[in-house]
Amino acid sequence: MATGATYKDPQTGQWLAWDELSQTYVPAYSTPDVSTSTFTPDQEAALESIAPGIVRLLKQSQNPGEKWTDTFTKIATSLGLGVQQYQLMNLNVQRARQGLPPIDVAQYAGPGVNVGLSAGTQQLVTYGGLALIGLVLLNMATRK
pLDDT at residue 109 in the model = 61
pLDDT of residue 98: 94
Q: Where does 1-144 have alpha helices with state H?
A: 41-50, 54-61, 68-97, 105-108, 119-143
C-alpha to C-alpha distances, 135 to 42, 104, 124, 139, nearest whole angstrom: 73, 48, 16, 6
Q: What is the pTM of this model?
A: 0.43
16-20, 22-26, 81-85, 103-107: which is most confident: 81-85
Q: How far is CA 109 from CA 74, 75, 103, 105, in A?
A: 21, 22, 11, 6
CB 48 within 8 A of CB 57: no
Q: What is the pLDDT of residues 29-78, one digit of tens each?
A: 655 455 566 777 887 888 788 888 888 887 888 777 777 778 878 888 88
Q: Find residue 76's DSSP bridge partners.
A: none
Give the whole-number percent of the chain exceeding pLDDT 90: 5
